[in-house]
């Protein structure tokens, strides 16, 4: 089984590069399942129903979330519906839904879990992610699963690394995101779990994490409170993902590969 996990899709530039890259990638790499981080899809803050449907039509099978996921209430009914392939972090009190769902595939059920790190640069009411994932895995222990994919959305590299080793051998893959900057440490951990600290983002390449430099530098240099503005005029786009492969009948993974595509607009 080949599972592709796409990093944070940042606004319309991110949607555009996914539309350009994903269909050919699915065909050329024989990808079976596509999972994408969707908390930044609609103007950088959440995901609309229309944008979810658009990405689904491009080949995305499942959507994970983060701190921005609860901001668009139109998605709440889908977050709460077990048949809809979208989740927010399981350990955030303000996010509707359980934070984990199953994706039915020809090869079997895939359990997908979304978690938030405790250090995300803003006060958010949440439970401990390690305790949360233990509770989820325990409650789902008797369900036959072909794979378990855990997304960890957080700032601290230490948290992202630790949870990978904490879950090593118990899940198929742990993918970190939220930084929007890909790390060069995709690896199979000692007990067979595929792991990457941060998968990166999809969107503007020449930007501050998808945001204009003009909206960031005054805040840093002069202490001026400015609002983030998506970079909509870049001449280059980036697509970042990881591709995990696994054999049938076992939870552990065989390989993980970082994929980056830089393309002109």
Q: What does the pLDDT profile of the chain (265 residues) look like in tens digits?
A: 999 999 999 999 999 999 999 999 999 999 999 999 999 999 999 999 999 999 999 999 999 999 999 999 999 999 999 999 999 999 998 899 999 999 999 999 999 999 999 876 567 888 999 999 999 999 999 999 999 999 999 999 999 999 999 999 999 999 999 999 999 999 999 999 999 999 999 999 999 999 999 999 999 999 998 989 999 999 999 999 999 999 999 999 999 999 999 999 9
The predicted pLDDT at position 124 comes to 81
Domain definitions of the chain by residue range: 2-264
The predicted pLDDT at position 120 comes to 64
Start-to-end CA distance of the chain, whole Å, equals: 32
The whole-angstrom separation of Cα 2 and Cα 32 is: 5
The predicted pLDDT at position 121 comes to 58
Give residues with Cβ within 8 angstroms of 221, minimum separation 6.
none
The predicted pLDDT at position 204 comes to 97
User: CB of 39 within 8 A of CB of 72?
Assistant: no
Q: Name the CATH superfamily for 2-264.
A: Metallo-dependent phosphatases (3.60.21.10)
The predicted pLDDT at position 119 comes to 72
Residues with catalytic function:
68
């Amino acid at each position: 089984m080949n599972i592709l996990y796409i990093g944070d899709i940042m606004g319309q530039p991110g949607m555009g590069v996914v539309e350009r890259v994903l269909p050919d990638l699915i065909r050329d790499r024989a990808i079976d399942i596509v999972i994408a981080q969707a908390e930044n899809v609609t103007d950088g803050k959440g995901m609309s129903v229309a944008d979810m449907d658009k990405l689904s039509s491009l080949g995305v099978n499942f959507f994970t979330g983060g701190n921005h996921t609860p901001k668009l209430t139109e998605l709440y009914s889908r977050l709460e519906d077990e048949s809809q392939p979208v989740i927010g972090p399981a350990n955030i009190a303000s996010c509707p839904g359980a934070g984990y769902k199953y994706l039915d595939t020809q090869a079997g059920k895939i359990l997908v879990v979304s978690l938030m790190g405790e250090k995300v640069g803003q006060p958010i009411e949440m439970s401990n992610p390690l305790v949360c994932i233990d509770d989820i895995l325990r409650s789902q222990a008797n369900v036959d699963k072909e794979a378990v994919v855990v997304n960890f959305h957080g700032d601290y590299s230490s948290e992202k690394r630790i949870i990978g080793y904490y879950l090593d051998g118990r899940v198929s893959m742990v993918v970190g995101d939220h930084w929007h900057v890909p790390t060069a440490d995709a690896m199979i951990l000692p007990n067979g779990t595929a792991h990457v600290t941060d998968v990166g983002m999809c969107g503007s390449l020449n930007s501050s994490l998808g945001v204009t430099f003009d909206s960031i530098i005054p805040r840093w240099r002069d202490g001026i409170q400015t609002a983030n503005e998506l970079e909509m005029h870049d001449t280059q786009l980036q697509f970042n993902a990881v591709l995990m492969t696994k054999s049938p009948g076992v939870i552990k993974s065989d390989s993980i590969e970082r994929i980056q595509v830089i393309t002109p607009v």
